Amino acid sequence: MSPRMTKSITLNGAPHRSSAATIADLVRELELAPEKVAVERNGEIVPRSTLAEAALNEGDTLEIVHFVGGG
């Protein structure tokens, strides 16, 4: 992965670099399942059905919550 191709974002309050093109790519890069997350980008909820089309841009601020099952 070339440093030129990575983006600087803020992820859950911390600086993060990613080469992901979309939010779904970022979620998979984090080893999470896109169908089990909720994502807020720049203060707006991103519908789960659109994560694969939602471009990840330089400077984006994301909050990602991963749902875990249990009992």
pTM of the predicted structure, to 2 decimals: 0.88
Would you list the DSSP string of 5-47?
G-EEEEETTEEEEE--SBHHHHHHHTT--GGGEEEEETTEEEP
SS3 state of residue 49: helix
pLDDT at 12 over 90: yes
pLDDT at 31 over 50: yes
Q: Which domains does the chain have, with CATH numbers?
A: 3-60 (3.10.20.30)
